[in-house]
Amino acid sequence: MKARSGVRTLILALVVGIQLAPITTQAAPAKSIILLIGGGMGPSQVGAAWLYSTRILGKELRMVEVMKSGRTAYMVNDTADAIVAESAAAATQIATGLKVPALTVSMAADGRTPLKTILEIAKEKGMATGLVTTSGITDATPAAFAAHVVHRSDELSVAVQENQLGVDVLLGGRKQFFLPEAVGLAMEFQRTNPDTLLIVTADHETGGMAIVGHWKGSRDYVGIDFSAIQKAQASFERILDELGKNPTAGRIRDTVKKHLGIEVTLKEARIVANAGIHKQDPRSSRRATPHPLAFVLQPHLGVAWASQTHTASPLFAFRSVPGSEELVGFRHNTELFRIMQGALAVAQ
């Protein structure tokens, strides 16, 4: 999903390949696992992507194809010390099956005990493993599968451990535009390799995204203005970089019109320039410009954002066969570890 909202999106592909394992009573055997994690990808992000894909692009969203072909769960992700998860703890819980404190990368709450990950279990069995991300390979989400550090900021130690573990494929960086379509590619592989378990989920939701009922000049209850979104010529990140710190109202108006084709009023531009929302709630808007800008664009686009940070919104988790039948209903993200382990028939 390509985000135009300013919410940073991370796609992690965790690939675990093994020899065919014997059938257990809880799960069908799988020769491989592909785990796709969309950073910040909550139900609203999935829904918006589906609407755009079906109504504007005229094709089904690939993630929805997985949902239709397999099972879907509504997943919560609270951590050992917080209701709202951040990436390190959320990914650790998926990788190890245990709740951990915030900012921890596959370490127990005591800060000394490493927690074995599903990738390490695969390596012990002689399986081929890989981590592929559109962000940095030492970022918290990929790190949780191959490293153990007390705090996610210790990326040097993460890099050393990823190399020491001997992960067969490590691909990272920010060259996402050169990568094939981080769900479509996985589905094509699964179709030609039916003994692959494909799981798509998220670490947490970011931004508190909501599709609102109307925009300027519209009737009520229409939702996103896709015609306005199609006019966008630059990402939110690029717009913010161009605005810089403490932009004037005039510069805000010119930049928004240049890149989004939207003419905000002088009053709206002043809201952004004065950083009123940031001043009222600095912890929920770490930078002065993004949240106010998203706020004034809401009536132009039909999309609202509650904050710049993570939320406790439940997530989707869906899979394509083979694998455990457990990925359905209301689940916690720690259960994904056991589902993957059971699907591969790996002993506890």
- C-alpha to C-alpha distance for 81 and 104, rounded to whole angstroms: 11
What residue type is 246 in one-letter code? N
Residues with Cβ within 8 Å of residue 74, at least 6 apart in sequence: 314, 315, 316, 317, 329, 330, 331
Distance CA 311, CA 216 (A): 27
Dig out the tokens for 168 from the structure: 């067969």
Task: Indicate which residue of 5, 44, 87, 285 is catalytic.
Answer: 87
Decide: 36 and 187 in contact? Cβ < 8 Å: no
Peptide bond preceding 114: is omega within 30 degrees of 0, i.e. cis? Answer: no
Measure the CA angle with vertex 240, ends 11 and 13; round to 5°.
5
DSSP string, 56-82: II-S--HHHHHHHHSEEEEEE---SS-
Across the chain, where does the E strand assignment appear? 11-17, 32-40, 71-76, 128-133, 169-171, 196-206, 209-211, 303-305, 310-311, 315-320, 329-332
Q: How far is CA 296 from CA 87, 244, 269, 273, in A?
A: 28, 18, 8, 11
The yes-or-no answer on residue 106 being catalytic is: no
Q: Which of the residues are catalytic?
A: 87
